[in-house]
């Protein structure tokens, strides 16, 4: 427990620094590193990491996708756009498949393509959130809180009231009561954060408190989908954690699995003006 707390405290301090520098290269570089790290862990878990050329293409695409918006801000390389690079990435993977079709089956290239697009486009929405809204930094805080804080509520609710297993095969420790408690707590947590931003820190943002509370509860359910999907891969791969980059917490995917599903959802909410405006 001590190791988990220290590790979380260090991660929180680093996160604050990154958020302060959200409108610089630092934020984009960190998101790119998270995307590449998540892909590396997924490829390692699924045995795809041995296909070095394909993985290199995947990592390059993830890096370019996350860094290109900042490059464009500097007025550089306007001729290059993400759709073009996505086309080049997929084409490169298919060409490698044609070259090595006798060495591996079709599931290899298409799994690499699918994981790469899912992870990269999802994490890329964090950069889009920062760049698209005047309250972008606060929106990222709300997004990450929506993805992570439900676990705390679910842990305590499950510990004291947990009786019925939610998904005993995939994640034996999760309970229905924990999920309900985590869902309600997540809505309350986001309300507290939004209220602090509105009344204490005086952030220039209009808060729809009903929308924030509902969004928090929905994030709990949506984040659980990402969590359980990542757990299925771990279970089928026969591993406990994706990595050990955060002592006591695991790897990038262990910490960001719920962000994969929550970030795109929250970007849509922010775009619609249903939560913040």
d(CA 212, CA 218): 10
The pLDDT mean for the chain works out to 88
**What are the CA-CA distances from residue 217 to residues 32, 181, 186, 267 (Å)?**
28, 10, 6, 16
d(CA 179, CA 174): 7
pLDDT computed for residue 39 by the predictor: 98
* Mean predicted confidence (pLDDT) in 242-251: 80
Query: In this predicted model, which residue has the larger pLDDT, 7 or 174?
Result: 174
Query: In this predicted model, which residue has the larger pLDDT, 156 or 136?
Result: 136
pLDDT computed for residue 196 by the predictor: 85
Structure tokens at 40: 């590396």
pLDDT band at 69 (very low <50, low <70, confident <90, very high): confident
Domain boundaries, the chain: 1-132, 135-277
Q: What is the pTM of this model?
A: 0.92
Query: In this predicted model, which residue has the larger pLDDT, 3 or 146?
Result: 146
pLDDT at 13 over 70: yes
CB 196 within 8 A of CB 164: no
* Mean predicted confidence (pLDDT) in 175-184: 90
How big is the CA angle at 224 (ends 219 and 225), to the nearest 5 degrees? 105
């Amino acid at each position: 427990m001590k190791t988990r707390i220290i590790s979380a405290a260090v991660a929180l301090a680093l996160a604050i620094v990154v958020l302060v520098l959200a409108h610089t290269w630092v934020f984009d570089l960190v998101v790119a590193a998270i995307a590449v790290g998540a892909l590396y862990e997924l490829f390692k878990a699924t045995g795809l990491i041995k296909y070095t050329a394909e993985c290199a293409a995947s990592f390059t695409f993830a890096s370019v996708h996350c860094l290109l918006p900042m490059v464009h801000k500097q007025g550089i390389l306007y001729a290059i756009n993400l759709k073009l690079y996505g086309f080049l990435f997929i084409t490169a993977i298919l060409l490698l498949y044609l070259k090595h079709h006798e060495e591996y089956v079709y599931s290899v290239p298409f799994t690499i393509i699918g994981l790469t697009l899912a992870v990269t486009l999802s994490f890329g929405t964090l950069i889009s959130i920062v760049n698209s809204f005047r309250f972008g930094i606060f929106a990222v805080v709300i997004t990450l809180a929506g993805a992570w804080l439900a676990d705390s509520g679910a842990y305590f609710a499950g510990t004291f009231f947990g009786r019925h297993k939610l998904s005993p095969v995939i994640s034996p420790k999760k309970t229905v009561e924990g999920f309900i408690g985590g869902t309600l707590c997540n809505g309350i947590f986001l309300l507290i954060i939004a209220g602090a931003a509105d009344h204490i820190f005086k952030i220039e943002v209009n808060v729809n408190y009903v929308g924030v509370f509902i969004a928090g509860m929905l994030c709990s359910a949506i984040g659980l989908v990402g969590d359980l999907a990542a757990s299925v891969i771990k279970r089928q791969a026969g591993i406990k954690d994706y990595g050990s980059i955060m002592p006591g917490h695991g790897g990038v995917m262990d910490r960001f699995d719920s962000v994969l599903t929550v970030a795109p959802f929250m970007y849509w909410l922010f775009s619609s003006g249903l939560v913040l405006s």
